[in-house]
Chain A
Amino acid sequence: MSPEALVADRVRKTYRVRGGAPVDALSGVSLRVGKGERVALLGRNGAGKTTFLKIASTLLAPTSGTVSVFGHEVQAEADIVRSSIAVVPQEGKPFFHLTPREQVYTYLRARGFDRASAKTRTGEALAQMELEEVADRLNITLSGGQRQRTMVATVIATEAPLLFLDEPTIGMDPFARRGVWESMRRLTRRGSTILLTTHYLDEAEALSHRLYIIERGRVLVDGSAEGLKKEVGGTLRVSIRGGQDLAETFSSFGSLVRDPEALHIITTPERLVEIMGVAVGMRLTATVGPVTLEEAFLKVVGRSIDAEN
């Protein structure tokens, strides 16, 4: 018997709002996370990512549907599920009046680790998050990113079988983010499973084996970052600065993504010379790069928004 780390089946959540209309945060989300996988939940603000993580981590009751963690249903067997999970909450902060070392150490003790192993793990986690320099200062004196690193250190030190991380790298510098990615990889190598949310699509791409895009409480797409990028219809992106109004000129070369700064043409290497020719002829500034997950995300979610309207 080898149950998956997490199986969600048609999870719905309607928040009741006092004196207001109810909010449908999740409208039937089904997903699976295999043991040892790193899976990212992506989606716009308010898509329902945090709501899903809270339900899966036993902190919020679904309106209907079920989630099970290692074969145990999160509602009926919450106690059992809780012994195998750890959570970095969105916008969580460490105790202001503890030091990072005390925060990590006491958290491990509260989870049942003995003094010696709590101490060793604390040292390792602080080192991984590069917090040694500030490890003995009160958290209240730390910068925002250092506090966030303390939260992540606290949770990765547990090496819990299933970790939920809600925007774990928010506010971190690029070095610190890469430190978190490395820790995540190490955790899954050692057998943990990770479900995280992020708005940094380079992070989702670098880190996750698979990802789900949630939009208005539904799973819009699931698959790998590579697979998703293929959906946009090309491997290269030509960005025309200030070319937002030139959609007609370029629409025959590939699919288009617009943002406030530029028009992006997603295309194939064979058509590159032609496009650059047109751009140069019109005295436009064009840059070329590989298609990123960000474009795929904008494309897929944008298509869904258009269809909805």
Chain B
Amino acid sequence: MTLSTTRPRAFRGLLAFAETELRVQLHEEAAILTSMVVQVVLLIFVSILAPSLLGVALVGAIVFSFFALGQRVLNEAAFIRVDHRLNELYLASPLAPESYFFGLSLGVMVAYLAPILLVALAAELVVHFTLVSAVTIVLSVVAVWLFSCSIGYIVSTLFRDMRAIWPWASLLYNLFGVLPPVFYPITSAPVAIRWISLFLPPSAATALINETITPANLTGLQIFLAAASLAVEAALVFLFAIYWARRSVREE
């Protein structure tokens, strides 16, 4: 039996662990089907109360759906660590720790993609996206997703008890995903909130996407701030999650 003495390459085993997690998630059809409940309820509210804002709300639903994947990552990572101790099985192995974090996130995302694509299709039927909007949507949701699953994974490592996790996960994702202008236009928010919203990834993403659909809601400075904060926050948090995934393998 030979033992390699070189360090294993980064992201080793990523796709294989993503496939593992995808299989796990696909066995839970009910969770995938019900992942759209909040979005659909809010869309129904909007279509009754303010039908003209349905396009904005559909964009919000897409962004929120990617943001909410972070909560799934948080719950899943915590569950398989606290309840199953599977982190020990996978982390004391050649699988790279960052592959454990990011493979889990990828698997969850792919599993939940189908209903999100349906919402995106509905949005296209209502809004008729331009190419610029479509590209902005893709880039923005990738950033929101990276941000959200990174936060989800980091937070999952901080708890020893599942019951303690549920309220915090719900608070985190509803506070930042539903409250700020994600499902409604940023111009409807109070001025102070508008500025804060530009720094929160879900509302920054929706502001940018909506700006490509109905321009002139944001100043040039605001567009820059939203784009820059979204990109920088997503990149920093993702890099920190990779660092944290490596570092938290070994408990203190």
Contact present for B23 and A102 (CB under 8 Å): yes
Q: Is the CB of B130 closer than 8 A to any CB of chain A?
A: no
A43-58 CB mask vs B (1 if < 8 Å, else 0) is: 0000000000010011
Number of chain A residues close to chain B: CB under 8 A: 46
CB-CB under 8 A from B92, the residues of chain A are 57-59, 82, 85-87, 164
Contact A97 B13 (CB under 8 A): no
Label chain B's interface by main secondary structure: loop
Q: In the complex, A161 Cα to B46 Cα: how many Å? A: 60
Q: How far is the CB of A229 from chain B (nearest CB, A)?
A: 33
- B122 → A minimal CB distance (Å): 29
List which A52-111 residues lie within 8 A (CB) of chain B.
54, 57-61, 70, 72, 75, 78-80, 82-98, 102, 106-107, 109-111
**Does B27 count as interface, using CB distance less than 8 angstroms?**
yes
In the complex, which residues of chain B have a beta carbon less than 8 angstroms from the beta carbon of A164?
A: 92
User: Contacts of B4 on A, CB cut-off 8 Å?
Assistant: 80, 83
For B, the interface residue count at a CB cutoff of 8 angstroms equals 37
Question: B83-91, B140-148, B175-183: which one contacts chain A?
Answer: B83-91
B80: A residues at CB distance < 8 A: 95
Decide yes or no: A111 and B91 within 8 Å by CB, A61-B250, A98-B24 being known contacts.
no
Cα A102 to Cα B8 with chains together (Å): 25
Q: How many A-B residue pairs have CB under 8 A?
A: 125
Shortest Cβ gap from B244 to chain A (Å): 15
Complex Cα–Cα for A151 and B88 (A): 12
Q: A86-B92, A110-B90, A111-B94 are known contacts. Are A97 and B19 too (CB-CB below 8 A)?
A: no
| Given A83-B4, A84-B3, A107-B89, A112 contacting B19 (CB threshold 8 A) | no
A138 in complex: contacting residue of B6, B12, B16, B27, CB < 8 Å: B27
CB contacts (< 8 Å) of A109 on chain B: these are 13, 16, 19-20
A-chain residues with CB within 8 Å of residue B23 when the two chains form the complex: 97-98, 102, 106
A93 touches B86 (CB 8 A): yes
Q: Mark B16-59, 1 if CB is under 8 A from A, else 0.
A: 11011001110110000000000000000000000000000000
List the interface of chain B (C-beta within 8 A of A). 1, 3-8, 12-13, 16-17, 19-20, 23-25, 27-28, 80, 83-86, 88-95, 99, 103, 249-252
Give the interface of A toward B (CB within 8 A). Answer: 16, 54, 57-61, 70, 72, 75, 78-80, 82-98, 102, 106-107, 109-112, 138, 151, 154-155, 158, 161, 164, 191-192
- 24 inter-chain pairs at a CB distance below 8 angstroms, sorted by A residue, are A58-B92, A58-B249, A59-B250, A79-B7, A82-B94, A83-B4, A85-B92, A85-B93, A87-B88, A89-B89, A92-B86, A93-B83, A93-B84, A94-B84, A95-B20, A95-B86, A98-B23, A106-B19, A107-B90, A110-B95, A138-B27, A158-B93, A164-B92, A192-B1
Please give me the 4 A-B residue pairs with the lowest Cβ-Cβ distance, nearest first: A97-B27, A109-B16, A89-B88, A106-B20
